[in-house]
Chains A and B, each alone.
Chain A
Amino acid sequence: MTTSHESENQDMQTSVKPSSLADVANAKAPKVPGTAALGTGLETRGVHAWFGKHHALSNISLDFAAGTVTALIGPSGCGKSTFIRTINRMHEFIPGAAMAGEVLLDGKDVYAPGTDVTKIRLQIGMVFQKPNPFPSMTIGENVLSGLKLAQIKVDNKDDLLEECLERAGLWSEVKDRLGAHGGSLSGGQQQRLCIARALAVRPQVLLMDEPCSALDPGSTLRIEDTIRHLSDTMTIIIVTHNMQQAARVSDYTAFFLSDGGPGQMIEVAPTSDIFSRPQDSRTESYVTGRFG
Chain B
Amino acid sequence: MTMTPTPTKPWAASTKDRTIDGAIFAGSLLSSYLVVSVTPMKGKLAYFACFFIAYAIFTTAFKGIQRGNAAAKDALVNSLVAIGAIVTVIPAASILATVLKKGLPGISFGLFTHDMALATPTDPLSNGGLLHAITGTLTLMLLSLVMSVPIGILTALYLTEIKGRFTAPIRFLVQAMSGVPSIVAGLFILSAILYPITKAYSGLMGALSLTILMIPTIARTSEEVLNLIPNDLREAGTALGGTQWRTVAMIVLPAAKSGLVTAVILGVARIAGETAPILLLTGGGDKVNPNAFNGPMGSLPYYIWKSFNAGSPEAITRAWAGLLVLVGLVLFLFTSARFLGTRKVSK
Tell me the A residues contacting B by CB distance below 8 Å: 88, 90, 93, 95, 118-119, 121-122, 125-126, 128, 130, 132, 134-137, 145-146, 148-151, 194, 197-198, 201
Tell me the B residues contacting A by CB distance below 8 Å: 163, 230, 232-233, 235-243, 246-247, 250-251, 254-255, 257, 345
| Of the residues A122, A125, A149, contact of B237 by C-beta under 8 Å | A149
| Of the residues A93, A128, A134, A151, contact of B251 by C-beta under 8 Å | A134
| Of the residues B232, B233, B241, contact of A118 by C-beta under 8 Å | B241
Kindly provide the distance from the CB of A275 to the nearest chain B CB, expressed in whole angstroms: 31
Q: How far is the CA of A151 from the CA of B241 in the complex (A)?
A: 9
| Of the residues B230, B232, B241, B345, contact of A150 by C-beta under 8 Å | B241
List A contacts of B250 (CB < 8 A): 134, 145, 148-149
Known contacts A128-B232, A135-B233, A145-B250: does B240 contact A150 (CB below 8 Å)? Answer: yes
Q: How far is the CA of A198 from the CA of B257 in the complex (A)?
A: 25
Kindly provide the distance from the CB of B85 to the nearest chain A CB, expressed in whole angstroms: 33
List B contacts of A121 (CB < 8 A): 238-241
Q: How far is the CA of A118 from the CA of B345 in the complex (A)?
A: 29
Q: Which residue of A lies closest to B251 (CB)?
A: A134
Kindly provide the distance from the CB of A249 to the nearest chain B CB, expressed in whole angstroms: 21
List B contacts of A148 (CB < 8 A): 246, 250
Interchain residue pairs with CB less than 8 A apart (13): A93-B238, A122-B240, A125-B240, A128-B232, A132-B235, A132-B236, A134-B254, A136-B251, A145-B237, A146-B241, A148-B246, A149-B241, A149-B250
Known contacts A136-B257, A136-B345, A149-B247: does B235 contact A197 (CB below 8 Å)? Answer: no
Q: How far is the CA of A197 from the CA of B235 in the complex (A)?
A: 14
Q: Which residue of B lies closest to A198 (CB)?
A: B240
List A contacts of B241 (CB < 8 A): 118-119, 121-122, 146, 149-150, 201
Assess whether A151 is in contact with B232, with CB atoms less than 8 Å apart.
Answer: no
Q: How far is the CA of A201 from the CA of B236 in the complex (A)?
A: 13
List B contacts of A122 (CB < 8 A): 240-241
Kindly provide the distance from the CB of A104 to the nearest chain B CB, expressed in whole angstroms: 19
| Of the residues A88, A132, A137, A198, contact of B232 by C-beta under 8 Å | A132
Q: Which residue of B lies closest to A134 (CB)?
A: B251
Assess whether A149 is in contact with B246, with CB atoms less than 8 Å apart.
Answer: yes
Q: Which residue of B lies closest to A207 (CB)?
A: B239
Kindly provide the distance from the CB of B231 to the nearest chain A CB, expressed in whole angstroms: 9
Assess whether A136 is in contact with B240, with CB atoms less than 8 Å apart.
Answer: no
List A contacts of B345 (CB < 8 A): 136
Assess whether A125 is in contact with B254, with CB atoms less than 8 Å apart.
Answer: no
Assess whether B232 is in contact with A146, with CB atoms less than 8 Å apart.
Answer: no
Assess whether B236 is in contact with A194, with CB atoms less than 8 Å apart.
Answer: yes
List B contacts of A151 (CB < 8 A): 246
Kindly provide the distance from the CB of A181 to the nearest chain B CB, expressed in whole angstroms: 8
Assess whether B243 is in contact with A118, with CB atoms less than 8 Å apart.
Answer: yes
Assess whether B240 is in contact with A135, with CB atoms less than 8 Å apart.
Answer: no
Q: How far is the CA of A95 from the CA of B232 in the complex (A)?
A: 16
